[in-house]
Amino acid sequence: AVKTGGYPGSGPTNSNESEEYNGSSWTSGNNINPQRQGHAGAGTLTAGVIFGGTDGTLLNKTEEYDGTNFSNVNNMNTSRNNLSGSGSQTTAIAAGGGTPPITAATELYDGTNWTTVNSMNTARQGMGGFGDSSASVIAGGSAPYKSAVETWDGTSWSTSPATLATARTFFGDCGSGSSTAGLVAGGIIATGVVAITEEYNKSSNVFTAAAFAS
């Protein structure tokens, strides 16, 4: 795994640092450029991509990671932070975020270019997301706190009958998994920070086509 940037909790600036995780320990890696927080990412340890965020100004900047170095590549079409990102370096999807105002805009990345596609039905930021550019799921977000879920089929977004048990926003690292088996954890509700975890499962069973479970 790789973690990049963020707000260190003190001082006037965001971080440009990266760290790699090998299953047992963290090791410092090469820096990203620029320093940023509120960005999203997709991919793997040796083929990753990060995009969006803010360094004091909203960003559309994109960087690819080869396991050693970060390289600036083509920018997103819409600058934003607190967006959702998932997929691979060549099948990434970026959705929502703050521009401001909060946006429903969606873009797909093919490893070279970003393409603006159909927007989500509900504008939101700080949501959990998992999947890729051909099939993806978005859950929760704000404002206000949302439990609504939308699914992406490669062309358009549809509101899902599945909803989160607890409406919330700003999940830890958005979410993880595939469009049929995903996970969101933590987040913020009206009364504060929560440790709630919910799993998403989708099957061809007509009785429970898709659902979240605590």
Mean pLDDT by 10 residues, the chain (214 residues): 88 89 96 94 95 95 97 97 95 96 97 98 94 95 94 96 93 80 91 92 67 76
For residue 176, the model assigns a pLDDT of 84
pLDDT at 62 (0 to 100): 98
Is residue 186 a contact partner of residue 193, using CB atoms and an 8 Å limit? yes
Is residue 1 a contact partner of residue 27, using CB atoms and an 8 Å limit? no
Distance from C-alpha of 82 to C-alpha of 22, rounded to nearest angstrom? 26
Rounded to two decimals, the pTM is: 0.92
**Cβ neighbours, 10 Å, residue 33:** 13
Integer angstrom CA distances of residue 17 from 28, 50, 117, 180: 8, 13, 32, 33
